[in-house]
Amino acid sequence: MTLCIMGNLAVSKMAAVFKPIIRWAQSKERIFLTLELSDVQYPAVELTGNRLVFQGFGHGARGEQQYHVDIDFYKPVDITASSHKVLDRHVEFSIAKLKGQQEFWPRLIVDEQKPAWLKVNFDRWQSEDTSDSEKDELEEQAKLENLMANTKAMELDLDNEIEKTKQEVFRFTRTFYLVVYNLMQGGLYLYITSVLLYKAIFQGTDAFSEAYDLVSDVLASCQLAAFLEVIHPMVGIVKTGVLAPFMQVFGRNLVLFLVVVANKELHKLTAVYGLFIVWSLIEVVRYPFYASEILGIRIEPLMWLRYTLWIPLYPLGVLFEVTLIWKAIPLLDESERFSVKLPNALNFSFSFAWYLRVYLVFLVIGGCYMMRHMYALRQRRYGRKKTKTK
């Protein structure tokens, strides 16, 4: 009886015959063959009751060649219960011994002389001489391997727990830092707002000219600290965009330090009071709102103020900024402060006054962008619900 799986096994007498390394092992019921031949192409197998013939092109002991195997078994085999697999790195055969003749063979092939290409696969080898002590040893080895696997699993679980703990510590540290930052900023702006309103209530319009002297130092500290709000999204501390905080922080610091602080003639203007109180009213709501959001605490009145108070305050803020810049331009034209005149080593000139003239256009555009941004956020929170038509 012959099992022909595929291919024509005729080997040309003129061609050189290369044999791969074959490792064999056995149990009482089966013969196990491993052909050390990788990336096999065009494999052909012929298995009969007494013989195995294999042919295929692949990478073996002699490199990439056509390899041929011809084995005459020590005893007949059961071809119907046998199988083979062509894998990427080798070819495996599981050949069943005939029922009634299932015993350990003294050798694989009929010839007593073992060929050089035939090796013993000690990893899978079994013999009838296997003693109880060896079986116990195998069982102990299996238990040891199981223990090692469990230990490795425990180490992996421990690594996962350590990583999880690191992430929890990072989240706690980030949350703690953001809450403290927002509450500190909110507290400072609450102080500024309280001072300005107190002076306005008890001194009337006379308080307008004192705004700069009263709160400029505290306000300057808050505005410098606000640069952190540009860094936060850049380093991933918060999951928001960079553009909106950059526009707000850059614009405010330009107006505060290069326009208001740098020109003493502006310090007593009512527009300075208006600008300071508008900024403070915006921030005295915004920072506590951020802190509550980070902590997951929903304060509905605070939320409503955050998404409503900007409607009158943002246009007023733009108006006061435009007013102060417009009044500063003639002063800067005359003093040429922050400007670069020719001649100089770089052969470059720059007029800060003209820069502010151009900046006024971008200030209005940026203000519109910020109001559109806030409008979108408000719509997301309080957008009109679609009513079902009957």
Asked about 290 being catalytic, the answer comes back as: no
Catalytic residue among 36, 46, 210, 321: 321
Asked about 369 being catalytic, the answer comes back as: no
Catalytic residue among 181, 273, 314, 359: 314
By CB neighbour count within 10 A (0-12 exposed, 13-18 middle, 19+ buried), where does 369 fall?
Answer: middle
How distant is the alpha carbon of residue 101 from its chain centre?
A: 62
As given in the structure block, the two tokens for residue 312 are 């009158």
Q: Which residues are catalytic?
A: 314, 321
